[in-house]
Chains A and B, each alone.
Chain A
C-alpha cells in the first residue's frame, strides 16, 4: 500500500530529489514502451498479414532463437550479432582514421576546402547503400559491407570535424604559437582536441547511419552471417516472427552504440566545460 502511494506521489514529484527524478523518468519510459507495444499489437491484429506477427509471437521467436540458434543458417544468434558487429567496428575505425585528419585539414586549409567541396558535395547526398552493389562486386563479400559502413560514417564525421575546426577560438591558436608551438604541434595539440566535441557529434550521427548501412548491405548480399543476412534469409522462407526478432535485435544494438557514443560525448563536453 505504501509502495503504491509513493509511486503515485512521485508523479507529483520533487524536482530536487534525484530519486524522484529517476522514478519519474523510469515511469514515463515504461509508459512509452507500453504504448509502442500496444500499437504494434493493434496493427498486427487489424492488418492481419503474416508479415506482421504479434509481439507475443515475436517474443517466443526471440526466446527460441537464443536457445536453439538459427536453424536455417546453422548459426547461433550470437554468431550473427558478432558478424555484424565486426563489420560495423571495422568500418567505423576505417572511417574515423580517414575522416578525422581529412576533416581537420579541410577546416585548416581554405584552398583545400574549395578544391574538395564540389566533389564532396556531389558524393555526399548519395545514399551510402547505393554503393553496395558496386562495392560488393569489386572488393568481395568480406570487405564490401565494411566499405558501405565506411561511406556511411565518413561524411557526418568529416563535416562535423571541419565545422569544429572552423569554430576554434583563433585566440587558442595565437596563444599556442606565442608559447613556441610549431604549426604541426598547434595542429595536434590545439586543433584536434578543440574539435573533439564536434567530432563526437559527427560520430553520434555516423553510428546511426552506420547501422543502417550494415543491415542494408547484408540484406542485399552477404556471406558468413550477420543480422541483415539473417533477416533476409528468414523473409525469403516466410518465417516472419524471426524477421521481427531480427529487427528488434538491430534496435537494441543501435540503442547500445548510440548510448555509448552519447555517454562519451557527454563526458568529454563536461570536461571541457561545454555542457
Chain B
C-alpha cells in the first residue's frame, strides 16, 4: 500500500530582495514505511521547512521528495499535517473540523459511477445523502479514537489546548493518509498535558499504523516516541547522526538507558548551538 519515503538531493534556498538563505543543500533521507521518525536540531535549522517541503507547502529549489512512483510537488490528502498552533477552523465545530477533509474529497469513484449509470435526480440525491452519512460515520470514528466523543459538537474556543490538538490529529487522520507530518504538535501544551498526549499518540499509532514524521524541540519527547531520531546540524542542515531506538513503547522515562540517551543527544545539540 504505502511505500518508503525518499528525500533525494533536496535543496531549498529562500530568497528575499537582499539576501539568500540556504536551508537545505543536497539533503537526502529515507523514511521507512510505518516508522515514527523524529527530527531534532538547533533552533532555526530548518526542521519545519523540511516538513513543509514533504507536505508540498514549500517548493524545493532542487531535488525531490517521493513515495513509490509519486513525486510530491503540491499538498495532498495522502500527507496529513498537524500544526503547533493547532490551525483549527474556529467557525466549525469539532465534528465539522474533522469532517473537512472528507467534504473536500467529494465523491468516491464508486459513487460517481452509480450516478453515471442512473442519471436520475433521485439517484443523485440518494448518493449525496449516503455519502453525507458516510462522512458522519467516518468522522465519528476518529473523534472517538482521540477520545472526544463528548465534545463532538463543541466549538473550538471551548476546548483546552490538549483537546484542540486531539482534534488536529483526528482531522489529519480522517483522510487515511500514508503519513502524518507533525510540526511540534505538543509544543504549545504544558508539560503534564504533553506527557498525556504523547502516551495517547502511541496508542493511536498502534491502531492506525501510519508513518509519522515528527519535528520537536524536546529531546525527552523524541526519545520517548521515536523509532529513529534524526539529529540535524545548523543551517544549511545536514544529518549529524541517526539514532535507532529499538525499545518497546511505552517507555520508562526514569530508566538508566532512557536518561543516558537523552543526555547524549542533548550534548550533541549543545555542540551545534555552541558553534553558532
Q: Does A271 contact B (CB under 8 A)?
A: yes
Counting residue pairs across A and B whose Cβ atoms lie within 8 Å, the total is 76
Measured in the bound complex, the distance between the Cα atoms of B98 and A179 in whole Å is 10
B87 touches A174 (CB 8 A): yes
**Is residue B79 within 8 Å, beta carbon to beta carbon, of the partner chain?**
yes
> Of all chain A residues, which has the CB nearest B75?
A177
* B77 interfacial contact with A, CB 8 Å: yes
B155 touches A271 (CB 8 A): yes
CB of B101 within 8 Å of the partner chain: yes
**Judging by beta carbons under 8 Å apart, are B89 and A273 in contact?**
no
Task: Decide yes or no whether A185 CB sits under 8 A from chain B.
Answer: yes
B59 close to A (CB within 8 Å): no
Interface size on B, residues (CB 8 A): 31
Interface of A is mostly: helix
- Most chain-B Cβ atoms within 10 A of its Cβ — which of A177, A179, A182, A185? A179
Residues of chain B within 8 A (CB-CB) of A178 are 55-57, 75-77, 79-81, 172, 181
> Is B87 a contact of A169 with CB atoms below 8 Å?
yes
Interface size of A as a range:
20 to 34
- A273 to B175 alpha-carbon distance, docked (Å): 27
Please report which residues of chain A, range 122-173, place their CB below 8 angstroms from some CB of chain B when the two chains form the complex: 169, 171-172
Contacts A174-B57, A273-B156, A274-B90 given: A181-B83 contact, CB under 8 Å?
A: no
Q: Closest Cβ of chain B: how far from A275's Cβ, in Å?
A: 9
Q: Report the Cα distance A251→B89, complex, angstroms.
A: 39
B-chain residues with CB within 8 Å of residue A182 when the two chains form the complex: 104
Segment of A64-72, A187-195, A211-219 engaged in the interface with chain B:
A187-195
Question: Given A190-B89, A271-B91, is A179 in contact with B155 using a C-beta cutoff of 8 Å?
Answer: no
Chain B hits for A274, CB < 8 A: 90
Q: Does A180 lie at the interface of the complex (its beta carbon under 8 Å from any beta carbon of B)?
A: yes
Docked complex Cα distance between A196 and B90 (Å): 12
